[in-house]
Amino acid sequence: MPSMKLASFLLLKLLLLSLGLSMAPPFLAGDEHQFSYSGFSNTNLTLDGAASITPNGLLMLTNGTSRSMGRAFYPDPLRFRNLSDGAVQSFSASFVFAMVSIYKDLSSNGIAMFIAPSKNLSAAMRMQYLGLLSNQNDGNQTNHIFAVELDTFQNWELQDMNDNHVGIDVNSLRSIQSHDAGFYHDKNGTFQSLSLDSQEVMQVWVDYHGEKMQIDATMAPLGMDKPTRPIVSANYNLSSVLTDVAYIGFSSAEGKITKHYVLGWSFGMNSPAPAINLSMLPKLPPGPRTKGGRRRLQVLEIILPLATAALILSVAAVVSLLVRRHLRYAEVRDDWEVEYGPHRFSYKDLFRATEGFDNKNLLGTGGFGRVYRGELSRSKLMIAVKRVSHHSRQGMKEFIAEIVSIGRLQNPNLVHLLGYCRRRGELLLVYEYMPKGSLDKYLYGEVDNSTLSWDQRIWIIRGIASALIYLHEEWEKVVVHRDIKASNVLLDDELNARLGDFGLARLYDHGVEQETTRVVGTIGYIAPELARTGKGTPLTDVFAFGVFILELTCGQRPIMQSTQDEQVMLVDWALEHVQQGSLDDAIDIRLKGQYNVSEAHLALKLGLLCSHPFACARPSMRQVIQYLDGHIEPPELPAHQSFQALALMQNEGFDSYIMSYRSSTSVGTISSISGGR
Ligand SMILES: Nc1ncnc2c1ncn2[C@@H]1O[C@H](COP(=O)(O)OP(=O)(O)O)[C@@H](O)[C@H]1O
Ligand SMILES: *[C@@H]1O[C@H](CO)[C@@H](O)[C@H](O)[C@H]1NC(C)=O
Ligand SMILES: *[C@@H]1O[C@H](CO)[C@@H](O)[C@H](O)[C@H]1NC(C)=O
Ligand SMILES: *[C@@H]1O[C@H](CO)[C@@H](O)[C@H](O)[C@H]1NC(C)=O
Ligand SMILES: *[C@@H]1O[C@H](CO)[C@@H](O)[C@H](O)[C@H]1NC(C)=O
Ligand SMILES: *[C@@H]1O[C@H](CO)[C@@H](O)[C@H](O)[C@H]1NC(C)=O
Ligand SMILES: *[C@@H]1O[C@H](CO)[C@@H](O)[C@H](O)[C@H]1NC(C)=O
Ligand SMILES: *[C@@H]1O[C@H](CO)[C@@H](O)[C@H](O)[C@H]1NC(C)=O
Ligand SMILES: *[C@@H]1O[C@H](CO)[C@@H](O)[C@H](O)[C@H]1NC(C)=O
C-alpha cells in the first residue's frame, strides 16, 4: 500500500532527524511564528558566556571585562523551511541595541544577530570572531550560519572595510556585502552615517525575501521609522545555507572594554517583524559621558569678596599648580599623530593608573626598560606600561605607524598592545595586563609551587605556535616577532600562553626587504643566519621557537651552566640525549615522571628540528602545528654533524659584538625606531 509506505518513510525521516539533532527540540515553532520583546525581564532566552539580563531587563551581551564574549538565543528552535518545497521562507527580524564603551578610546569588536544550527557554539572564538566562528571554521560550508554583523573593529584578515560597518555574513565573518553604518534619508536619499559605538540607542531590521532570495539590512536611530532603502543588500540563496531547524540569537565580543546591550527584539516568519514597543524598552545605565559639574568657579566666587590678597595668593597657587602639572604631564605630540588619536594615551592617565610609576607597581625590567602595572581609573582596565627611552624623533613616525598597526593584531595568543604615549626622551607602550606574569618565572622557580604540568606545557607550546602562525601567515603582512623566549611569553588568568613584547617586531612586507642595522634577539635564541646577516625571517622565529620548546620540555635555560663552569647549549645537550636514546633523561625532572611519553619525545624532536642550524631544514609554523596535532609524522632528525656546525657558527657570529650583553635580556635596540639609546 503506497500510503503506508509513505507514512513509514516519513516516520523514518522524522526518526533520523531527531537522532541527528541529539537533543530533539521539544517544540518547533511553525510557519507563522512571531515573537517580540521590549526588554527581557522574565524571558527564557538561553544565555552563554558573559551574557546576562540586568535587573531592569537589558540583555547585556558583554559585561565590560576585556575580551569577553556572550551569546543569547531565542529558547526554541525555529523551522526556517517551507515543509512542502523545502525552501527557506521569508523572515524578518528587528532589534534595538547600544554599545557603551567605558573608556572612549578603546574600541570593541561587535555584535551579530545570527541563525545557527545549534546552541552549542563552544568552538567559537572571541575578538574578531564575535563568539560565532573561529579561525578553524570560518568560511566552511558546514557551518550553516547566517548573520548580520555590526562591526566596530577593522580586521585585515577578515577584509573588513572599516571600523564602523554593517555586514551580511554567510558561514564566514568575511562579509559578502558590507556598508558604513548609517541610513538613507527617505526624503532626499542622502546617506547619513551613524557611529555604532557612540553609546546611542539604534534599531536594526533584517529581512529575507524568500522568493527573491534577497537579504536586506537597515538601521536608524531609535524612534525613527524604518527607512525604505536598506543600507546593505545581498542576493543569496539561504536555502543552501540554513538547516531545516535552526536557532536565532545574538553573539557579541569585545576586544577591550565595551558593554553591548540589546534592548528589544522581534521576529516574524513569513511576516514582517512585529513592532517593538519603544516606550517599554528598558533604560541604559547612565553612560560615562556625563561628568560632574565644575565647582571651581563657585569656590572662587566665595573667595573673591573676602580679600584681594587671598585672591592673588590663590591665583598664584593655581598658576604654579598648573605649571607644575603641565611639566609633570608634558608630552610630545606631532601633527602627523592626529590620525593615531585613538591609540594615544595621555601621560596623565598613565601616571595616575600606575600611581605615579610607583616602585610597588614595577612588574619587571626588561632589555628596553621598566614595566609597570596600572589600572585605568575610568574603565578599571588593568594595563602594563613599558617605558622605553629614546632620544631622537627620527623614525618615530614609522615606529608609531607600526605600533598602531600592531595594535590591530588580534589573536587569542597575543598580548594586545592597546596604545602608546610620547614624552621627551621617552616612549610609553601600553599593553593588556597579564596577571600571572611571564612563563620563565614558572619554569625557573621564582613562583612557589609553580611547576607546570605536562599538559599545561603542551598547551602553552600550542598557544605560541598558533600565535606565530597568525603572525607569519594569517595577517595581511608577514610579521616577524624576533624575540621569542620564555620571558616574553605571558600567562593569562586561564594559563593560556600569550606572546608579548612586540617592541622588537618589525613588519616585513610580503616581498619587500627591510634594511636592518643590528642583530635583534636574545642570546641562545638567535639563529645562526640571523647572527650573520642580521635579517629576521619567519624561519629565525622558528629557530627561537624550537629553543623555546626545548626549554619547556627540559626545564633548562637555553644556555645551561654545567658543573665545570662551562656553558653548554641546551640544543646540544638535548641532541646528545636523543642520539644516545636517553630521551627521558632530558625531560624536566620537576615533572617527576608525570608526562605523556610520546608527546614529550615528540616535543624534544620537534624542538631540535625547529632549532636546526640550517634554515632550510626547519619546518614552517604550519607544519609544526600539524606535527603537534599528530596529523603528520615529523621527519627523522638530520645527521649529527650539521648540528655541531651550530656551535661553531654561534661562536663566530656572536663573539664580536653580542656576547657582552647579559644573557637574560634582549640584545640590540629598536635602533632605526628610537634612533639609538
Ligand atoms: N603585559 C604584561 N603583563 C604583566 N607583566 C608583564 C607584561 N609585560 C611585561 N611584564 C613583566 O615585565 C617583565 C619585563 O618585561 P619585558 O620588558 O618584556 O622583558 P624583556 O625585555 O626581558 O623581554 C617581564 O618579565 C614580565 O614579568
Ligand atoms: C519560561 O520557561 C518556564 C519553564 O520552562 C515556563 O514556566 C515559563 O512560562 C516560560 N516563560 C516565558 C516567558 O516563556
Ligand atoms: C563577565 O563575564 C565573564 C565570563 O562569564 C566573567 O568571568 C566576569 O567575571 C564577568 N565580569 C563582570 C564584571 O561581571
Ligand atoms: C510553501 O511552498 C508551497 C509550494 O511552493 C507554497 O504553495 C506555499 O505557499 C509555501 N508556504 C509558505 C508559508 O510560504
Ligand atoms: C559542544 O560541541 C563540542 C564540540 O564542538 C563538544 O565537545 C561539546 O561536548 C558540545 N557540548 C554540548 C553541551 O553538547
Ligand atoms: C569543514 O568542516 C568539516 C566539519 O567540521 C571538516 O570535516 C572539513 O574539513 C572542513 N573543511 C575545511 C575546508 O576546513
Ligand atoms: C536630507 O534630509 C534630511 C532630513 O530631512 C536632512 O537632515 C538633510 O540635511 C538632507 N540632506 C540634504 C543633502 O539635503
Ligand atoms: C537554492 O538552494 C537550494 C538548496 O541548495 C536549491 O535546491 C535551489 O534550487 C536553489 N534555488 C535557486 C533558485 O538556485
Ligand atoms: C506600549 O506600551 C505602553 C505601556 O504598556 C502602552 O500604553 C502602549 O499602548 C503600547 N504601545 C503600543 C504601540 O503597543
- Nearest protein Cα to ligand 6, atom 11: 140
Question: Does 65 contact ligand 3 (Cβ within 6 A)?
Answer: yes
What pLDDT does residue 314 have? 83
Instruction: Please spell the DSSP secondary structure of 393-455, one letter per residue.
Output: -TTHHHHHHHHHHHHT---TTBPPEEEEEEETTEEEEEEE--TT-BHHHHHTTSSTT-PPPHH
Residue 270 lies in a domain: yes
Confidence of residue 442 (pLDDT cuts 50, 70, 90): confident
What pLDDT does residue 196 have? 86
What pLDDT does residue 539 have? 93
- Nearest protein Cα to ligand 9, atom 13: 277
**Cell match 600539524: residue?**
626
Which amino acid is located at 658 in the chain?
A: I
- The binding-site residues of ligand 1, defined as CB within 6 angstroms of any ligand atom, are 363-364, 366-368, 371, 384, 386, 415, 431-434, 437-438, 487-488, 490, 500-501, 665-666
Query: Rounded distance, CA 205 to CA 183, Å?
Result: 11
> Among residues of the chain, what percentage have pLDDT more than 90?
32
Instruction: Please spell the DSSP secondary structure of 91-105, one letter per residue.
Output: EEEEEEEEEEESSTT
pTM attached to this predicted model: 0.58
- If one residue of 119, 120, 132, 145 were mutated to test the ligand 5 pocket, choosing by the most ligand atoms within 8 A of its CB, it would be 120
Mean pLDDT on 6-10: 42
> 481 CB contacts (<8 Å, ≥6 apart)?
468, 471, 499, 502, 504, 505, 541, 544
- Domain containing 446 — which CATH number? 1.10.510.10
Residue 21 lies in a domain: no
Active-site residue, selected from the candidate residues 483, 501, 541, 588: 483
> Among residues of the chain, what percentage have pLDDT more than 70?
76
Atom of ligand 8 nearest to the CA of 237: 1
Residues 428 and 449 in one domain: no
Query: Rounded distance, CA 123 to CA 397, Å?
Result: 40
Atom of ligand 3 nearest to the CA of 63: 1
Backbone angles phi, psi at 440, to 5 degrees: -60, -30
Query: Rounded distance, CA 509 to CA 302, Å?
Result: 63
- If one residue of 84, 170, 214, 237 were mutated to test the ligand 8 pocket, choosing by the most ligand atoms within 8 A of its CB, it would be 237
CA angle 312/317/321 to nearest 5° reads 150
Q: Which residue blocks in 535-631 are alpha helix, DSSP H?
A: 538-554, 570-580, 583-586, 597-610, 621-628
Mean pLDDT on 375-402: 77
What pLDDT does residue 353 have? 92
Of 408, 433, 458, at which residue does a domain stop?
433
Instruction: Write out pLDDT tens, residues 219-278.
Output: 999 989 999 999 999 999 999 999 988 999 999 887 566 788 999 999 999 999 999 999
What pLDDT does residue 659 have? 31
Residues 262 and 405 in one domain: no
pLDDT at 21 over 80: no
What pLDDT does residue 322 have? 80
Does the active-site annotation cover 160? no
What pLDDT does residue 3 have? 43
Report yes or no: 531 and 516 within 8 Å, Cβ to Cβ. Answer: no
What pLDDT does residue 667 have? 38
Question: Does 68 contact ligand 3 (Cβ within 6 A)?
Answer: yes
Residues 64 and 137 in one domain: yes
Of 433, 451, 479, at which residue does a domain stop?
433
Binding-site residues, in ranges, read: 386
Residue 610 lies in a domain: yes
Residue 390 lies in a domain: yes
Question: Does 141 contact ligand 8 (Cβ within 6 A)?
Answer: no
Residue ranges making up the domain that contains 489: 437-674
- Domain containing 130 — which CATH number? 2.60.120.200
Instruction: Write out pLDDT tens, residues 68-107.
Output: 789 999 999 999 988 888 899 999 999 999 988 765 555 5
The region of weakest confidence among 57-61, 329-333, 466-470, 508-512 is 508-512
Instruction: Please spell the DSSP secondary structure of 236-266, one letter per residue.
Output: --GGGTS-SEEEEEEEEE-SSSEEEEEEEEE
- The binding-site residues of ligand 7, defined as CB within 6 angstroms of any ligand atom, are 185, 187-188, 190
What pLDDT does residue 72 have? 94
Instruction: Write out pLDDT tens, residues 168-195.
Output: 999 988 889 999 999 999 999 999 999 8
- Domain containing 353 — which CATH number? 3.30.200.20
Residues 370 and 505 in one domain: no
Binding-site residues for ATP, in ranges, read: 386
Residues 159 and 47 in one domain: yes
What pLDDT does residue 392 have? 58
- The binding-site residues of ligand 9, defined as CB within 6 angstroms of any ligand atom, are 277, 279-280
Query: Rounded distance, CA 112 to CA 178, Å?
Result: 13
Helix axes 308-328, 296-306, angle to 10 degrees: 140
Instruction: Write out pLDDT tens, residues 612-668.
Output: 888 888 999 999 999 988 888 888 776 654 555 555 555 444 433 333 233 333 433
Q: How far is the CA of 188 from the centre of ligand 7 (A)?
A: 6
Residues 237 and 139 in one domain: yes
- The binding-site residues of ligand 4, defined as CB within 6 angstroms of any ligand atom, are 31, 82, 84-85, 89, 270
Of the listed ligands, the closest to the CA of 236 is: 8
Of 370, 403, 433, at which residue does a domain stop?
433
- If one residue of 34, 82, 88, 212 were mutated to test the ligand 4 pocket, choosing by the most ligand atoms within 8 A of its CB, it would be 82
- Nearest protein Cα to ligand 1, atom 1: 433
Residue 314 lies in a domain: no
Of the listed ligands, the closest to the CA of 221 is: 7
Number of domains in the chain: 3
Instruction: Write out pLDDT tens, residues 461-502.
Output: 999 999 999 888 887 778 888 889 888 899 988 888 999 876
What pLDDT does residue 514 have? 43
* HEC secondary structure over 133-178: CCCCCCCCHHHCCEEEEEECCCCHHHCCCCCCEEEEEECCCCCCEE
Mean pLDDT on 586-613: 91
pLDDT at 148 over 90: yes
Q: How far is the CA of 293 from the centre of ligand 2 (A)?
A: 46
What pLDDT does residue 29 have? 55
pLDDT at 290 over 60: no
Of the listed ligands, the closest to the CA of 666 is: 1
Residues 447 and 416 in one domain: no
Average pLDDT, whole number, for the chain? 78
